[in-house]
Amino acid sequence: MSRKKVLIVDADVASRNFIARKLLEQKYDVMQAGSGKEGLIFAWRDHPDLIIVDPVLADVAGEEIAARLKQDPRTQDVPLIALSGDQTHGRIKSCLDAGFNEYITKSGQAVATLNDTISRLFGLTVDEMKQGGLSIIFISAKGGTGTSSMCANLAMNIAHYQPEANVAVLDLVLPIGSIAPIVGYEGGQNIVTITDMPPAKTTPDFFHRELPQMGVWQFNLLAGSPDPESSNQLKVGRIWDVVTALKASYDYVLIDIGRSLSKITLPLIQHADLVTLIVSTDVSTISLTKTLWDYLKGKGVPPNSLFTILNRAVGLEGLSKTDAENQLGIKINMSMPYLGTNFAFANSHHQPFSLKFPKDTASIIFQDTAKEMAILAQKVRLG
């Protein structure tokens, strides 16, 4: 991958040099401009991949720079970060309104925040998200709907249906991931330790070699945060390049987000090949799910990338599939019956359901669903 070019526009030489040094350490190429006019010229002439502007400039206000960059086809898609000593709400708002993607205040935390933000914005480029393996998100509006069990079991079935494919599962549920306990992984590697590594180390090749293989589950796992304290340490800004690197070395990357929808996970959902929504049959989950789906739709998640699973995780009672579809206003792609204690039994033995209970109809449902999801994800990718 070629080095990314970052342009810094800041009238203060010392501040500019300091940021430049920090970015060079992160292996970015750096250009500097000391005024707004110079910044605009360099931006249009040198095609930086990202621009950092201190909005307090003598000649052109940062807001105007943002507006002009966003109006020009040469720079309209280039991410813009405001890095400013001005912490007033009015300034932050006017900058974000003018087109800055992010506003970071100059403080002791600024460099760490800047690094996180830059890698997140770079990871977000649609081009990168549309390359490599297919990403399949698992998300729910409420806990305990069976999201993690579905994710692990469908990953296993996708790997089983396509033995030549490499399948990875990434657990992004905060504050504690639960795929590791389901599959019986007890190693020390997880999303927190991985994002703590220097970016230069977490390459596609690294993930190909170092992600542990889960035996009968037939996939490789990047486990979730093991506890709330670790979750607080998670370097969220690194998640984007981790996902991009995983996609570069696996054919399928299944990501358990569970209820952890946030500013960090939203872009992953927006650019996923398939968004699997797990719904249970009680009225309150259905109504929360409707709120969640309306939100995601509003954020540009295309309805054709949605895959809905109605999972009777808690018992036989609850709405019928048709009632659930009517209340949600979306089609349900798959219904999983209540499996009594069998599912919990398979989970507690760290076994895929279809290996423990191969004769159960649910095993056939898992198989068919995995196939259908793989085909649909391919279709969405091809557009």
Ligand X SMILES: Nc1ncnc2c1ncn2[C@@H]1O[C@H](COP(=O)(O)OP(=O)(O)OP(=O)(O)O)[C@@H](O)[C@H]1O
Q: Which positions touch ligand X (CB under 6 A)?
A: 140, 143-149, 173, 178, 258-259, 311-313, 336, 338-339, 343-344, 347
From candidates 48, 99, 237, 258, binder to Mg ion by CB under 5 A: 258
Residue 218 contact among ligand X, Mg ion, none, beta carbon within 5 to 8 Å by kind: none
CA distance 208 to 311: 32
Read off the tokens for 349: 């033995």
Q: How many angstroms separate the Cα of 173 from the Cα of each of 6, 139, 198?
A: 32, 10, 22
CB-CB contact of 322 with 348 (8 Å): no
Q: Which residue lies nearer to ligand X by CB, 326 or 348?
A: 348
Identify which of residues 6 and 313 has a Cβ nearer to ligand X in the complex. Answer: 313
**C-beta of 258 vs 352, nearer to Mg ion:** 258
**Strands in 208-282 per DSSP E:** 220-222, 252-258, 274-279
Q: What span, in angstroms and rounded, lies between the C-alpha atoms of 101 and 99?
A: 6
Q: Shortest distance, CB of residue 259 to ligand X, whole angstroms?
A: 6
Please state the closest distance from residue 173 (CB atom) to Mg ion, in A: 5
> Which does residue 140 touch among ligand X, Mg ion, none (CB within 5 to 8 A, set by kind)?
ligand X
Distance of alpha carbon 276 from alpha carbon 257, whole angstroms: 10
**CA pair distance 51, 53, nearest whole angstrom:** 6
Given strand 29-33, what is the order of strands in its sheet? 29-33, 5-9, 50-53, 80-84, 102-105
Q: Name the binder of 336 from ligand X, Mg ion, none, CB < 5-8 A by kind.
A: ligand X
Please identify, using beta-carbon distances, which residue of 347 and 354 lies nearer to Mg ion: 347
339 binds, among ligand X, Mg ion, none (CB under 5 to 8 A by kind): ligand X
Selection from Mg ion, ligand X, none that 26 binds (CB < 5 to 8 A by kind) is: none
Of 167-196, which residues contact Mg ion (CB under 5 A)? 178
Q: How far is the CB of 332 from ligand X (least distance, A)?
A: 14
Q: Which of the residues 129 through 148 are near Mg ion (CB under 5 A)? A: 147-148
Q: Out of ligand X, Mg ion, none, which partner does residue 215 contact, by CB within 5 to 8 A per kind?
A: none
Both structure tokens of 327: 């209340």
Contact in structure between 282 and 318 (CB atoms under 8 Å): yes
The answer to whether the CB of 219 falls within 8 A of the CB of 155 is yes
| Least distance from ligand X to the Cβ atom of residue 345, Å | 8
* Cβ nearer to ligand X, comparing 103 with 343: 343
Compare residues 301 and 365 and give the one whose CB is closer to ligand X.
Answer: 365
Structure tokens at 102: 């992010």
Amino acid at site 235: K
On whether the CB atoms of residues 20 and 55 are closer than 8 A, the answer is: no
Instruction: Indicate the residue among 178 and 280 with the shorter CB distance to Mg ion.
Output: 178
Q: Which parts of this chain interact with Mg ion (CB under 5 A)?
A: 147-148, 178, 258
